[in-house]
Chain A
Amino acid sequence: AQKITQTQPGMFVQEKEAVTLDCTYDTSDPSYGLFWYKQPSSGEMIFLIYQGSYDQQNATEGRYSLNFQKARKSANLVISASQLGDSAMYFCAMREGLAGGTSYGKLTFGQGTILTVHP
């Protein structure tokens, strides 16, 4: 079963507008973490934002915010004031389990969303 689902293969947004990238997840583990990464054409994975399953407030990092709806198991990324440099592939990822396990830190990725920002 797909653990992380990103249903938008591609998204387009006008420069300076806000855009929401969807992510839903599935886990029975009460302790987990959700990440968003940006991958430009160079291939590097750029960490954007993190939300822990026990965090009470939605995470924010500059122009990035995470709309965390635990009951719906969704963790959508909101990018405000889009810039041309935001054009890239975006991945939602989940880390399961508690610290101390040998595989702790292993990430399961969604399919990704290609975001294109138009001038």
Chain B
Amino acid sequence: GAVVSQHPSWVICKSGTSVKIECRSLDFQATTMFWYRQFPKQSLMLMATSNEGSKATYEQGVEKDKFLINHASLTLSTLTVTSAHPEDSSFYICSARLEGEAFFGQGTRLTVV
């Protein structure tokens, strides 16, 4: 089956620093990837749609300058949380599209202290 790898699985960073999260499709090419955010015991909320070679499409209310998305190749999309604050602490999870089906990465638990 299709495998999506997300790295790191967890990260702790200081307030004001930036954190990069990688999402890789290991055995298929993904022109489209999706980034979700999830607070404890809540639903997954779509943050943005990442398309290879073009700018990401952000959902309403998501700050594009704070959550930078780069989809530079057909197998890699990155999410950079810039100038992180404690309220950015959350679970971030990506999915890659293959023939309409979504394959999820393992997720990244971000804690900003």
The number of residue pairs between A and B whose CB atoms lie closer than 8 Å in the complex comes to 63
* 8 tightest A-B CB contacts, nearest first: A105-B97, A45-B104, A43-B107, A109-B44, A109-B43, A111-B43, A44-B106, A103-B49
Enumerate chain B residues within 8 angstroms of A47, measured Cβ to Cβ: 104
Task: For the complex, count residues of B whose C-beta is within 8 A of A.
Answer: 24
Q: Is the CB of B102 within 8 A of A107?
A: yes
Contacting B at CB under 8 A, from A64-119, are 89, 91, 95, 99, 102-112, 114
Contacting A at CB under 8 A, from B74-113, are 91, 93, 95, 97, 99-102, 104, 106-107, 109
Of the candidates B34, B42, B51, which one forms a contact with A107 in the assembled complex, judged by CB atoms under 8 Å apart?
B34
CB of B17 within 8 A of chain A?
no
Enumerate chain B residues within 8 angstroms of A89, measured Cβ to Cβ: 41
**Residue ranges of A at the interface with B (Cβ–Cβ < 8 Å):** 33, 35, 37, 42-45, 47, 50, 89, 91, 95, 99, 102-112, 114
CB of B32 within 8 A of chain A?
yes
Q: Is the CB of B49 within 8 A of A112?
A: no
Q: Is the CB of A99 within 8 A of B100?
A: yes
Q: Is the CB of A105 within 8 A of B34?
A: yes
Of the candidates B44, B100, B109, which one forms a contact with A104 in the assembled complex, judged by CB atoms under 8 Å apart?
B100
Contacting A at CB under 8 A, from B33-60, are 34, 38, 41-46, 49, 51, 57
Minimum C-beta distance from B45 to chain A (A) = 8
**Residue ranges of B at the interface with A (Cβ–Cβ < 8 Å):** 32, 34, 38, 41-46, 49, 51, 57, 91, 93, 95, 97, 99-102, 104, 106-107, 109
Enumerate chain A residues within 8 angstroms of B57, measured Cβ to Cβ: 102-103
Enumerate chain B residues within 8 angstroms of A37, measured Cβ to Cβ: 104
Q: Is the CB of A103 within 8 A of B41?
A: no
| Distance in angstroms between the alpha carbons of A112 and B44 in the assembled complex | 9
| Distance in angstroms between the alpha carbons of A33 and B97 in the assembled complex | 14
Minimum C-beta distance from A56 to chain B (A) = 19
Of the candidates B42, B49, B91, B93, which one forms a contact with A102 in the assembled complex, judged by CB atoms under 8 Å apart?
B49
Given A102-B51, A105-B34, A107-B102, A45-B93 contact (CB < 8 Å): yes
Enumerate chain B residues within 8 angstroms of A35, measured Cβ to Cβ: 102
